[in-house]
Amino acid sequence: MTQEVIVRFPPSPTGYLHIGGARTAIFNWLFAKKTGGKLILRIEDTDAERSTEESIKGIIKSLKWLGITWDEGPYFQSHFIKEHQAAAHKLLETGHAYKCFCTKETLDKKRKEALKKKGSLQYDGTCRDLKPEEISEKEAAGIPCTIRLKVPREEGSVYFEDIVYGFIEKKYKDIEDFVIVRSNGQPLYILSNTVDDIRDRITHVIRGQDGLGNTPKQILLYKALGAPIPKFAHMSLTLDPKKAKISKRTHGELVAVHFYRDHGFLPWALINFLVRLGWSTPDSRDIFTKEELIETFSLEGINRANSVFNVNKNDPKFFTDPKALSINSHYIRNLPVEEIVPYVKAELEKAGIWDPEFESGKRDWFLATVDLIRSRYHVTTEFATLGRAYFSDDYPIEKKALKKNILKHEGLKDWFSILADRLESVKIFSADEAEKVIRDIAEELDIKAGVLINGIRAAVTGQTVGPGLFDILIAIGQKRVVESLRKAVLLFD
Ligand code: GLU
């Protein structure tokens, strides 16, 4: 029987979930789904000073919004500190670790001297071979001690086959006897993380490439604790266009998952985009449904090269990677309209223009209108901004629309009135009927129909572009079209 796959996503709750963390979570989740395995959520909150309750809530909220589900947890690393300490004591008993009584001052002094002589900065092993009496003596004298792992001192190396990076090797002589428990009894993160992975029976550690430096030491810990060693897959990093690592510190909110939620991203579109950062199929396909992605995903498909994420702080419209926007607009355009309605509703609510009738009496109209206008939008917030006129009588007319499509043609002042009167008297207000009225008027007045069409579009939607005008008129409705045209006359005053 093949072993069940168990993976974990272990965020440190020191801030919001950013796109790099989300990408790690997504890869673990996809791998679990693909293999029929389990995903465990573990909150690595042992850094009490930097971990916050607010951040834990925020991370969980963002994962839920993305639709990433986990099978176990959240577990909290801080609940297992005794277990981490017990593991260290087991290592002492089995001779894989030792107590180190060197003070910080001594170590600092030795390091300074080594620096001067350009010698090794590694711990020199002073306490590695203390005799039991020496240890008892120091303990009796109340000298505090750390616990260090005994790294083999023979020739040789730690090595493993990383699923992404291939064969990785580190010589024993390049690893110092590292501290696993501080002198105040607090386990170091590297120990806690390993002990938790052992307890949770993690089979695959899928994490950022920045974890690669810890892996040889962790393998030594697995061996010393007599535990099976999981497989490792380190993922390439995501960099900004200047090749700086994407981080909360450098990019602020712009890389937070909630920023994308608040700026009109559909969760699946964000997942689809993030997966494509550093993972690809041979045909470089961009769009995947959830089922397709689970089917196609493989750890081997993760690229070694770092990926570039074009965050753009200075452009309020294209605030993020153009590819992210294009994937989002693909989903806005192509998902069954019912699936995007909840997101449109949320935007209209936020803008204060939601009408409960949109999901009862006016439901068919609402669905048809969302369907009509969605093809040009990149983010769902645009339903409430560019699309505001469809849902509210109180909408602005864009500067460009006002200048180019309305005020530039003085005649429109009268023509809008004529149009309003004639459209008002239409008995059955259909797209064909409205078109006929508008074209007839253009002919009667001997002006280009385009001037009327563009003028009406600007007046009733506030925009220079949009769907075909006659469809717009039906969506907005006879009464509101007539009112808007009469209001537009006043723009010339
Ligand atoms: N808590 C670590 C982090 O947030 C996870 C490291 C790991 O996956 O082993 O970076």
Q: What pLDDT is attached to residue 309?
A: 86
Angle, helices 431-445 vs 449-461, to 10°: value is: 130
| Residue 61 CA to ligand 1 centre (angstroms) | 19
Is 207 near ligand 1, meaning CB less than 6 Å away?
yes
Q: What pLDDT band is residue 245 in, cutting at 50, 70 and 90?
A: confident
Q: Considering all CA atoms of the chain, what is the largest pairwise distance in Å, rounded to the nearest integer?
A: 112
In this predicted structure, what is the pLDDT of residue 316? 56
- Residues forming a β-bridge with 256: 18
Q: Which two tokens stand for residue 295?
A: 């089917």
Q: What is the pTM of this model?
A: 0.93
45 pocket-lining for ligand 1 (C-beta < 6 Å)? no
Least confident of 55-69, 268-282, 336-350, 414-428: 268-282
Of residues 321 and 419, which shows the higher confidence score?
419
Best probe residue, ligand 1, of 76, 197, 206, 207 (max atoms within 8 Å of C-beta): 207
Residue 190 Cβ < 6 Å to ligand 1: no
- Which one is catalytic: 173, 248, 323, 487? 248
Mapping DSSP onto H, E and C, the string for the chain reads CCCCCEEEECCCCCCCCEHHHHHHHHHHHHHHHHHCCEEEEEECCCCCCCCCHHHHHHHHHHHHHHCCCCCEEEEEHHHHHHHHHHHHHHHHHCCCEEEECCCHHHHHHHHHHHHHCCCCCCCCCCCCCCCHHHHHHHHHCCCCCEEEECCCCCCCEEEEEECCCEEEEEEHHHCCCCEEECCCCCECHHHHHHHHHHHCCCCEEEEEHHHHHHHHHHHHHHHHCCCCCCEEEEECCEECCCCCECCHHHHHHHHEHHHHHHCCCCHHHHHHHHHCCCECCCCCCCCCCHHHHHHHCCHHHECCCCEECCCCCCCCCCCCCHHHHHHHHHHHHHCCHHHHHHHHHHHHHHCCCCCHHHHCCCHHHHHHHHHHHHHHCCCHHHHCCCCHHHHCCCCCCCHHHHHHHHHCCCCHHHHHHHHHHHHHCCCCCCHHHHHHHHHHHHHHHCCCHHHHHHHHHHHHHCCCCCCCHHHHHHHHCHHHHHHHHHHHHHHHC
- Ligand 1 pocket residue status of 211, Cβ below 6 Å: yes
Asked whether residue 313 carries a pLDDT value surpassing 70, the answer given is no
pLDDT higher than threshold 80 for residue 82: yes
pLDDT tens, 14-45?
Answer: 999 999 999 999 999 999 999 999 999 999 99
* pLDDT tens by residue, 420-459: 999 999 999 999 999 999 999 999 999 999 999 999 999 9
154-208 pLDDT, tens digit per residue, is 999 999 999 999 999 999 999 999 999 999 999 999 999 999 999 999 999 999 9
- Which residue from 337, 191, 346, 196 is spatially nearest to 263, judged by alpha carbons? 346
Ligand 1 closest atom vs CA 197: 9
Q: What is the pLDDT of residue 386?
A: 97
Q: Is the CB of 44 under 6 A from ligand 1?
A: yes
Ligand 1 proximity of 248 Cβ (cutoff 6 Å): no
- Whether residue 153 has pLDDT greater than 80: yes
pLDDT at 284: 86
pLDDT of residue 247: 79
When pLDDT is cut at 50, 70 and 90, the band that residue 389 belongs to is very high
What pLDDT, on the 0 to 100 scale, is given for residue 132?
Answer: 96
Pocket test for ligand 1, best of 7, 12, 248 (most atoms within 8 A of CB): 12
Residues 203, 5 contacting (CB under 8 angstroms): yes
The structure tokens 């209209």 sit at: 348
More confident residue, 211 or 119: 211
Ligand 1 pocket mutation, candidates 7, 31, 44, 50, criterion most atoms within 8 A of CB: 44
CA 8 – ligand 1 centroid, Å: 10
> What pLDDT score was predicted for residue 268?
97
Which amino acid type is present at position 130?
Answer: L
Give every CB contact of residue 61 below 8 A, 6+ residues apart in sequence. Answer: 258
According to the model, what pLDDT value does residue 96 have? 98
* pLDDT value for 450: 97
Per-residue pLDDT at 319 exceeds 90: no
**Residue 323 contacts residue 276 (beta carbons within 8 Å):** yes
The answer to whether 269 and 330 are in contact (CB under 8 A) is yes
- 87: number of Cβ within 10 Å: 24
Do 346 and 263 meet the contact criterion of CB atoms below 8 Å apart? no
Active site annotation includes 248: yes
Give yes or no for a contact between 85 and 181, defined as CB atoms under 8 angstroms apart.
yes
pLDDT tens, 272-301?
A: 999 999 898 888 899 999 999 999 999 999
**193 C-alpha to center of ligand 1: Å?**
8
Whole-number mean pLDDT of the chain?
95
